[in-house]
Amino acid sequence: FGNSLTAAYGLDVEEGFPNRIQLKIDSLNLDYTVINSGLSGETTAGGLNRLDWVLSQKVDVFVLELGGNDGLRGIPLAETRKNLQAIIDMVRSKNPETEIVLAGMQIPPNLGTDYTTEFKNIYPDLAKKNEVALIPFLLEGVAGIPELNLEDGIHPTVEGQKIVAETVWQVLKPILK
């Protein structure tokens, strides 16, 4: 459940990390189906507004990858935090058994050190508070490396998506039974 990073912006959806996770799941004969609920341009507020639709089906594991667009747009950090918390609360209220994985995000420092640092800290703070699994930084090993990103410098290339899939898999694998 995310934004353009989950939706594999600029690539065929099969090349994105959600599909690569499905391939890993299939290779291990695990009984899970990945539903790619990525929407380009999505903010935490937009995600909160469309969450009911996603939760209309049973969800065993919910990977929450939102907030990057909030940070790039300079949305107040309290609002981003509140929306992410509301999403976690809605997932839990719909099905308390759902395992939640929160994908941490970082943003460039153009909005200042205080904003950038506090933005980065939202994710570990919420993961700890809610006792959910945390991917420390979704784009670890990809962000800032030109050859692993499209020309916009934000969205991973096919090779970048492979690295993102491995980053997600390291946190997701122990959760899948």
> Please, are residues 44 and 83 in contact by the beta-carbon 8 Å criterion?
yes
Half-sphere exposure of 144 (CA within 13 A, CB side): 8
| Active-site choice (4, 40, 56, 70) | 4
Asked if 152 is an active-site residue, the reply is: yes
Written as six digits, the tokens of 175 are: 């959760």
> Please, are residues 133 and 88 in contact by the beta-carbon 8 Å criterion?
no
| Active-site choice (12, 31, 114, 152) | 152
Half-sphere exposure of 30 (CA within 13 A, CB side): 18
What is the C-alpha to C-alpha distance for residues 93 and 104, in angstroms, rounded to an integer? 22
Asked if 155 is an active-site residue, the reply is: yes
Place of tokens 């959910």: 132
Asked if 4 is an active-site residue, the reply is: yes
The CA-atom distances, in angstroms, between 5 and each of 23, 58, 133, 141, 161 are 18, 23, 19, 15, 9
Catalytic (active-site) positions = 4, 152, 155
